[in-house]
Amino acid sequence: MSQRPAFCHTGEYPAAPEQVFRMPRHYLLYATSGTMRLVAGGRAWTLPPARAALIAADEPIRVTLARPLTACSALFDPAHYPAPPDPLSVFEMSPLARELVCACAGWGDDAAPLPNHAATLFAALQSETWRLAATPTAMQMPVARTDAVARALELSEADMAGTPRFDAIAAAVGLTPRTLARRFDAELGMTWRMALRRLRIIRAAEMLAVAGPGVTEVAFAVGYNALSAFNAAFKDVTGLTPTAFRASCAGATQPVLTVGAPVDMSVPR
């Protein structure tokens, strides 16, 4: 176990299925490129470079690497740093927070004490991200509690580029449309159309977080035939236009990566 009160964990990782993590330290989970999906407490988030998660020590999370990514996360010893504002918070990273986490990237899990300069940087990173965590993002998706609703969401997501039909989805999961509609309201707190819109915007955010298709192409890929409708829906959910969101994702400084970083994103306890 590291003797340092704080350290960074960096590396490049391929797309990977869901893994469960529980860290003994407060965990700032962040990617400078690519995206990941985080599930905890009955909610799900997408984490592009514009966004980070702060997880309190020993709080379990489930992480899926939707696409290859470059991770630059920081871990803080609870004996030396205060508890985060909440056990789990997903928030937008400020330019200062991005620069600080990348500046801290060179100090990994090591028994050697942190130099004073590094300790000052980690203290500033902790202060800034704890402040940001007090204002979490609204861009999240409730997690289904039953197999029927989970399957309905999977079918909706698979056909989001086309015109998914609620009655066909209900039949596919063995429920009447009325019963499935009640399940959506009870489990997700939203209608199926609201859930479909949220799924589309989350997928769009994942696509916009990487260099590639233009905004119009992304809009069509997630089921919007009119760019104006896509822009309005995206801004309503994220608070940013698609173009502004992409620009915010492109602003991250790239850290110096640990040579030979393992594929496993976990860190030694």
Structure tokens belonging to residue 108: 């990994």
The structure tokens 């993590």 sit at: 21
* Residue 208 pLDDT: 86
For residue 248, count CB atoms less than 10 angstroms from its CB and return exposed for 0-12, middle for 13-18, buried for 19 or more.
buried
Residue 63, strand partner residues: 19, 38
- The 10s digit of each residue's pLDDT in 154-200 is 999 999 999 999 999 999 999 999 999 999 999 999 999 999 999 99
- Is it the case that residue 261 has pLDDT exceeding 50? no
Instruction: Give Cα 220 distance to the centre of its chain.
Output: 23
Q: Is 70 helix (H, G, I), strand (E, B) or coil?
A: strand
Helix axes 242-249, 227-238, angle to 10 degrees: 60
Query: What CA–CA distance (Å, rounded) separates 26 from 49?
Result: 20
CB 142 within 8 A of CB 42: yes
The structure tokens 């009160």 sit at: 5
- What end-to-end distance do the CA atoms of the chain give, in Å? 5
* Residue 166 pLDDT: 98
- Is it the case that residue 207 has pLDDT exceeding 90? no
* Residue 238 pLDDT: 85
Structure tokens belonging to residue 186: 């009870």
- What stretch(es) of the chain map to CATH 2.60.120.810? 6-133
Residues 6+ positions from 260 with CB-CB distance below 8 Å: none
Least confident of 213-217, 235-239, 244-248: 244-248
Beta strand residue intervals within 66-144, DSSP E: 69-76, 88-92, 141-142
CB 89 within 8 A of CB 124: no
- The 10s digit of each residue's pLDDT in 25-59 is 999 999 988 888 899 988 999 888 888 999 999 99
- Is it the case that residue 258 has pLDDT exceeding 50? no
- The 10s digit of each residue's pLDDT in 79-124 is 999 999 999 999 988 889 999 999 999 999 988 899 999 999 999 9
Whole-model pTM: value is: 0.75
Beta strand residue intervals within the chain, DSSP E: 6-13, 16-21, 26-33, 36-40, 43-47, 51-55, 61-65, 69-76, 88-92, 141-142
Mean pLDDT confidence for 241-262: 63
* Residue 35 pLDDT: 84
- What stretch(es) of the chain map to CATH 1.10.10.60? 144-249
CATH class assigned to 6-133: mainly beta
CATH number of the 144-249 domain: 1.10.10.60
* Residue 259 pLDDT: 34
